[in-house]
Structure 1
């Protein structure tokens, strides 16, 4: 079994955080005696820094116990560092990518990895992507855009041109939603996270970007958010509104089948619907391990999707 959605923090990255603690405002906070410290960077999205995030041996042992034979490891979204100056984002990307590449080389049969890039500078991001793939990484994980920039904007063209040339996996992972209505009851994570994916995925689909860059392998986290469930509404809009159809060569439901999605849905009926909607060759097993809301062990094998995403 493969696990396409799983996260890890190499020791060199932790060392970098401690060396740059004041610059990035990193804090290690002990909230509960029964839990590990929480890591918070720049007063934003904190998380429990479990040992499985940082201990490579423990991580591999836990994956093996769950029946996972190969893990595609990603950096954690909290360390994308998009809200810092470019030199910081480039620096952390370089350290993270090199560390993951070195780790995967120690267990190539059990590990592959995606890198991270300085998305705030797409030209620099393209270079970091190229460097990462030269080291053996399979592509990169990125956020759903920037504060005032959608991924379909021309601003990101240099990055997508390079990803297309390299046939890279681009795993789009949401960040916490800033909608003020969600500031309660864990809603930023419960529905804000899949909502961010929904907005990004819908915009990319309707933009025609996948026709412009057909070799980019775009993978959406958490089953594509709410988009697959509402694809009929997009098809209806395609029939009625030129603003929806003008950049597309087919209905949105056809484009939906040209992306990939993970199985992090926590509900078998939802997963069955996703597979029926986009095809079993487009849904890869994932867990979101070791975050709290992980599907553990990952659901399904989806061998056709694994081959189409990782090997074709």
Structure 2
């Protein structure tokens, strides 16, 4: 069984953060005596440094224990560092990508990896992606946009062109939504996270980019956010408004089948609807391990999607 949605932080990355803690405003906080320390970068999105995030042997043992034979490992979104100068972002990306590539190479039957890139400098991001894939990684994990710019913004063209040339897997993973209305009851995570994916995926669909960069394999986290479940509304807008249909070659419903989706939905009925809407070959097992909200082990019955995303026939 594959797991396409897991996160890990290699020792080299933790060492870099400690060596550059002033530069990236890193802080370690003990919030609860029964939990590990929380790590915060630039006073944002603190997360518990569970042992499974940083202990390679424990990560591999847990994976084996639940029957995951091969995991696709991604950098943790809190360490994208998009809000720093791109020189800093690229420096950590290089360390992260090289260390992940080395780990995956040493455990090639059990692991594949995705890179992090300097999305705050798309030319650098293209280079980061190329170097990472030359080192053996399968693509990159990126956020849903940057500084109010969605991923269809022309400024990101160098990155998308490189991703298309490389036929890369691009895993779009949300960051916490900063809408002030959500600042209670864990709503930034509960609905803000899938909402960010919804905005990003809708933008990519309506922009026509899925036709322009048809060799990029775009994976959407958490079952695609809310997009698959409101596609009827988008289809109706396609029928009514040229602003919706102008850039498209087919109905929005058909473009749903051009993405891939993980199974991190925690609801079999929702997952069944998604499979009927996009086809099982577009869904891959995912867990979001080892975050608190993880589906561990992941749903195991989507081998077709795993093979199609990895290019296995």
Shorter-chain TM-score category?
over 0.9
What is the match of residue 161 of structure 1?
Answer: 161
Looking at structure 1, the residues matched to 96 and 301 of structure 2 have their Cα atoms a distance apart, in angstroms, of 28
* 2:222 matched residue in structure 1: 222
Q: TM-score by structure 2 length? A: 0.99
How far 1:301 sits from its partner (Å)?
A: 3.0
Tell me the CA shift for residue 33 of structure 1: 1.1
Shift, 1:199, TM fit: 0.4
SS in 2 for 1:309: helix
Which residue of structure 1 lines up, in the alignment, with residue 52 of structure 2? 52
Name the SS for the 1:215 alignment partner: coil
Q: Secondary structure of the equivalent of 1:6?
A: strand
Deviation at 1:148, TM superposition (A): 2.3
**Does the 8 A contact of 1:284 with 1:306 survive in 2?**
yes
1:30: which partner in 2? 30
Cα deviation, residue 206, structure 1: 0.5
Q: Distance in 2 between matches of 1:300 and 1:248?
A: 34
Tell me, yes or no, if the aligned pair for 1:29 and 1:38 is still in contact at 8 Å.
yes
Deviation at 1:311, TM superposition (A): 2.4
Output the CA distance in 1 between the equivalents of 2:263 and 2:246.
Answer: 31
Q: Deviation string for 1:117-138 (max 9, x for gaps)?
A: 0001111100110000000000
| Counterpart-to-counterpart distance in 1, 2:124 and 2:25 | 24
Structure 1 equivalent of residue 179 of structure 2: 179
Q: Distance in 1 between matches of 2:93 and 2:148?
A: 22
Aligned to 1:97: 97
**Does 1:264 pair with 2:253?**
no
Q: Which runs of 5+ in 1 are unaligned?
A: none
| Partner deviation per Cα, 1:78-107 (whole Å, 9 max, x = no partner) | 000000011100001000000000000111
Task: Provide the aligned length of Structure 1 versus Structure 2.
Answer: 312
Q: Deviations over 1:236-262 (max 9, x none)?
A: 000000000000010000000000000
| Deviation by residue 1:287-309 (Cα, 9 ceiling, x = unmatched) | 00000000011112311111110
Whether contact under 8 Å (1:217, 1:259) holds in the other structure is: yes
Distance 2:301 2:40 in 1: 34
Asked if 1:117 is matched to 2:117, the reply is yes
SS at match of 1:108: coil
Matching of residue 4 in structure 1 with residue 4 in structure 2: yes
Q: Which residue of 2 aligns with 1:139?
A: 139
Q: Deviations over 1:163-220 (max 9, x none)?
A: 0000000000000101110010000000000000000000100001010010000000
User: By how many angstroms is 1:224 displaced?
Assistant: 0.2
Matching of residues 151-300 of structure 1 within 5 Å: 151-300=151-300
What value does the CA root-mean-square deviation take over the aligned residues?
A: 0.6
The DSSP-based 3-state class of the residue aligned with 2:44 is coil
Matches of 1:32 and 1:298 in 2, distance apart?
28
Q: TM-score, normalised by structure 1?
A: 0.99
Aligned equivalents of 1:194, 1:147: Cα separation in 2: 18
In 1, the alpha carbon distance for the partners of 2:144 and 2:304 equals 26
Structure 2 unmatched runs, 5+: none
How far the C-alpha of 1:147 sits from its partner, in A, is 1.5
Determine if contact 1:2/1:301 at 8 Å carries over to the other structure.
no
Q: How far apart in 1 are the matches of 2:94 and 2:226? A: 33
Aligned partner of 2:77 in structure 1 is: 77
Partner of 1:106 in structure 2?
106
Matched, 1:310 2:310: yes
